[in-house]
Each structure stands twice: as structure tokens, then as C-alpha cells.
Amino acid sequence: MKWVLGVDSGGSGLRFALGSTTPRETDGPGGVGGPGGVTVVATAASAEPVRTGPSGIDPGHLLAQLLPAVDTLLAQAGADTVSAVAVGAAGMATLGDGLRAELPGALERSLGVRRSALAADAVTAYAGALGQRPGAVVAAGTGMIALGTDLTSWRRADGWGHLLGDCGGGAWIGRAGLEAALRAHDGRRGGSPALLSRMRERFGPAPELPGLVYPRTDRPAVLASFAPEVARCAAVDPVAAEILSAAARHVAESAAAVCPPSGPCEVALTGGLFRLGAPLLTPLRAELAGQLPHATTVSAAADPVTGALIIAGALATDSLRLPHDPLLLHIPAQQDR
């Protein structure tokens, strides 16, 4: 048995999971209990998000939170060393240069860990949802990204942020709902009196909305906070219902773009956006059936921190099948395999 660590770093802080590998050769949900399967033993969390600096995500700040968490988790488990670490971080693909350059060496010096992986959060979401099987995952919350693999390479769609993409995500739905509210305020076509009423309740008079939204550094989250209001109105308001239908089309298009082109494809949906429930899921299932008739929609088996743990367990047992990628799943070249 080996001890392994999974880390999930996002906008709301960090989550840590310590697990033990098992020698069982039976498949289990999400790859847990499969070759190099992992049993979660202890967890911890920090509410402080990792800072970004000139080289992107700050490796020193991440390490400063990781090391005390590891000490606590090892003490809880009665363990002394960690064999492998996998870190999944939001923004890894575009802001991960500093982490890739510094964190593996720092982990080896601090913890004696020679095997590590640095992954985009979409990759750890994939591993948590589907394990190491081919397929596709849509991770949707404030933003939206789809990731798929045939276990040879990764295919990515969207995830370009709320100004350039994330089509169908929470910020996209919220922005569309607020636009419809403002159209109703102006008397333009396409407006929704129901959404205008919800907007006034949540944000105040319409003329004040731009001043409340544009200066905010957390603008995507502010926009996404209105998405549940769109979902609540959808049953009685055709404008709100059409916004969610359009969101479903965008999400299905991204899933279709990344699903392996040959053979059956499992598509897992993960992330807080899907808690909107039937107003989004009903049109989404219809869109997936139309755009991906060969695919099967499945429930995500586990969350991203468990996905990071699955990757760490696979590293520790030489059973990693997910494809390496310099930006999406970075495995330092000097590691023994």
C-alpha cells in the first residue's frame, strides 16, 4: 500500500485528499478500486485561493498551504510519507508556467515525492467523473469547458472565459437573462418582464445595474448568480426557457466537439451548473441525443479532488493511462516511471 495526495485548487480555495492505493485488479466507479485504485482516507480544505503573480499561479503560496495540510493528513492516517502527488488547478493551461517550473522540485525537496502531476482542473474533473476510460466530460459552473480523450490525446472545447466563450455556462446564462431584463425595461423586443422583476429584486433599479457589474473583479460570478433566477422563470416565461434551450445547445456542441469520433462515447456532466435541474437538463438531454446519438450520458462518479487522487494513485502504481500533455496533464520528464 502507498499513500498518495490529491489537490484541487480553484477560485474558492483548496481541497486536499489523502488516499491509499490497493493492489486490487477490479474496476470500480471512476477508476477507484481499479488498477492502482485509491481509497480516500482523510481530507482537508483551505478557504484561501492560491494567488497569481508575474509567472501565473504562485507556487510558493500553494506550497505554503499544501505542506501543513499534508502534515495534518498524514498524522490523521498514521502515515509518514507520500509516494505521489497530483495537483489540479484552475487556470493551469494558461497560468501554470510557474507551477510547472518550480512545484515538482519543491515537492521533492519538501516531501521526498519523486512522482507528481500538474493538471488543469478540467483533467481532474475528467478523472473524477470517468476515471481512465475514454469519453467526454462537460465541467460547467460559472464557466463551461468540455474535455474528451480516446486515451491517445486530449480534445478541448470552449473554456475561453466569460468574454470570449464559456457558452452555456452560468455566467453566460446569467448575462443573457439580465440582457432580457434590460430589454423589457427599455421596451425592446425579446424582453422578459419576469426576469426584469427578478433583476430588480436582486440588483435594484435597472439603471444601476451597469455600475454594479462592470467594476467588479468577480464579474463572472456576479453574472452567474442570476442563472438560478433564469431557471426559476423558465416554466412560465418563454424568454427564460429559450435562454436555457440555447445554453443546452452550446453545451451539447462542446461535448460533440470533444467526444471520441469512433466507437461508443460516455459523456459525464459535472459542476454546479447542472444543479439548475430540469429547466436545463431536459433540453440538454434532448440536444445530446440529437447531436451525439452514439453517446451515453452518465453521472460523474466522483469530484475533481478525487480525480486528482486517482491520477496520483495511478502515478504511484505505474498505471496512468490518461494522455500526457504539456498544458493539460504535465508529468515532469525526470520522474522514474
Q: What are phi and psi of 291, to 5 degrees?
A: -85, -25
Q: Using CA atoms, how far apart are residues 213 and 327, in angstroms rounded to an integer?
A: 32
Q: For the chain, give the percent of residues with pLDDT over 90.
A: 59
Burial of 210 (C-beta count, 10 Å sphere; 0-12/13-18/19+)? exposed
Is the per-residue pLDDT at 29 higher than 90? Answer: no
Whether the Cβ atoms of residue 227 and residue 177 lie closer than 8 Å to each other: yes
Q: For residue 139, how many other CB atoms are within 10 A of its CB?
A: 29
> Which pLDDT score is estimated for 334?
57
Among the listed residues 155, 145, 130, 19, the one whose alpha carbon sits nearest the alpha carbon of residue 91: 145
Give the Cα-Cα-Cα angle 49, 50, 56 (nearest 5 degrees).
135
Residue type, 7: V
Is the per-residue pLDDT at 148 higher than 70? Answer: yes
DSSP lists the bridge partners of residue 226 as none
pLDDT confidence bin for 263, thresholds 50/70/90: confident
> Which pLDDT score is estimated for 180?
98
> Which pLDDT score is estimated for 27?
41
> Is the entire prediction scored with pTM above 0.85?
no
pLDDT confidence bin for 36, thresholds 50/70/90: very low
Among the listed residues 60, 93, 69, the one whose alpha carbon sits nearest the alpha carbon of residue 5: 69
pLDDT confidence bin for 172, thresholds 50/70/90: very high
Question: Crossing angle for the helix pair 193-203 and 170-186, nearest 10 degrees?
Answer: 110
Which residue has 469512433 as its cell numbers?
Answer: 262
DSSP lists the bridge partners of residue 299 as 269
